[in-house]
Every structure is written in structure tokens, then in C-alpha cells.
Amino acid sequence: MLDLTERPISILVLHGPNLNLLGQREPGIYGSLTLAEINRSLEQEAEKLQAKVSHLQSNYEGALVDAIHEALGKHQGILINAGAYTHTSVALRDAIAGVNLPTVEVHLSNIYRREDFRHHSYIAPVVIGQISGFGAQSYLLGLQALVHYIRK
């Protein structure tokens, strides 16, 4: 009999604006890995966790909002690096709150050690947790935490 605590979980991974430039954009802050490399490591980690990931990167706020809405009934959780929209988007905050799916916010850099305007996250109050400052490892830690949360 299948152990329901170990059934495959589907996670939507959202990457916000400018993350398509990873590997070339300010590597001293964001690291040298490309977005494709981060996505591959997430897929490998998901497999170890008996989960699946689907990923989307968009520079457009509305596309990210649409993806959050479309996650209902398809995914059990969301892992999001909203990039600069973290600090500006009430629309993303409202979409996450509206679908009520467990969501983890991740950032490659420690947003609290950067410019003052980056210290505020509109998303943080509606997610189950936030991980920042560990480079690409932030994504893996976020995925692990999210899958654990969903299974418990």
C-alpha cells in the first residue's frame, strides 16, 4: 500500500524579474550559477524528496500572478524568488494570500544586508517562511522546508 506521506508533491517554482540573467548579472551578489543550473539542482533535489517541480521565470508581474492563480489544483506549494517585486508588489502578495497554498520566499542574497529599500518584503507576511543569503542553496533549503511542511 502506498504511504500517503510519501506521495509525490508538486511544487511551482517562480523566478521573478532579472533572474534570467543569473550567471552574468552581478555575480559578486548573485553568484555564478545560471538559472538553468539552479533549476536542474532543484529538479535533482525534488527527485530525492519524492517531489516534482515546475518552474517559470518572468520579468512580468502579471505572468507571475497568473501562474500563482493557475497553481490551484495543480500544485501543493509554491517556492518563489520574486526578485525586485518582493519589495514592490502588492499584487503578488494578494495572489499568494488568495490561493492559500503553502509558499516559501527565497532570495540568493541576504536582502537585510543590502540597500534599505530591499529590507521590506510585501510577500513575507503571507508565506510560511523566508530563506535568504545562501546563494543558490537558498532555493534548495526552501524546497526542503516546503516539502517537509506539506508532508507534516
How large is the average pLDDT for residues 120-145? 97
Q: Is 18 annotated as a binding residue?
A: no
Identify the CATH number of the domain in which residue 50 sits.
3.40.50.9100
Does residue 4 surpass a pLDDT of 60? Answer: no
d(CA 117, CA 77): 28
Segment among 27-31, 68-72, 130-134, 143-147 with least mean pLDDT: 27-31
Please, how many CA atoms are within 13 Å of residue 13, restricted to the half-sphere of its CB? 27
Alpha helices in the chain (DSSP H): 27-30, 35-48, 61-70, 90-99, 137-151
pLDDT for 92 equals 98
Contact 10, 52 (CB under 8 A): yes
Contact 18, 84 (CB under 8 A): yes
Domain count, the chain: 1
d(CA 93, CA 96): 5
Domain residue limits at 98: 4-151
Q: One-letter amino acid identity for 113?
A: R
Does residue 152 surpass a pLDDT of 60? Answer: yes
How large is the average pLDDT for residues 26-48? 93
Which long-range contacts (C-beta less than 8 Å, at least 24 apart) are formed by 123-130? Answer: 123/80, 123/82, 123/86, 123/89, 123/92, 123/93, 123/96, 125/93, 126/93, 126/96, 126/97, 127/80, 127/96, 127/103, 128/102, 128/103, 128/104, 129/104, 129/105, 130/104, 130/105, 130/106
Does residue 2 surpass a pLDDT of 50? Answer: no
Average pLDDT, the chain: 93
The predicted-structure confidence for 100-120, as pLDDT tens digits, reads as follows 999 999 999 988 888 888 889
Q: Is 118 annotated as a binding residue?
A: yes
Q: Is 89 annotated as a binding residue?
A: no
Q: Is 120 annotated as a binding residue?
A: no
Contact 55, 79 (CB under 8 A): no
pLDDT for 6 equals 55
Q: Is 116 annotated as a binding residue?
A: no
pLDDT for 7 equals 63
Does residue 1 surpass a pLDDT of 80? Answer: no
The predicted-structure confidence for 50-92, as pLDDT tens digits, reads as follows 999 999 999 999 999 999 999 999 999 999 999 999 999 999 9
Q: Could you give the residue numbers annotated as active site?
A: 30, 107
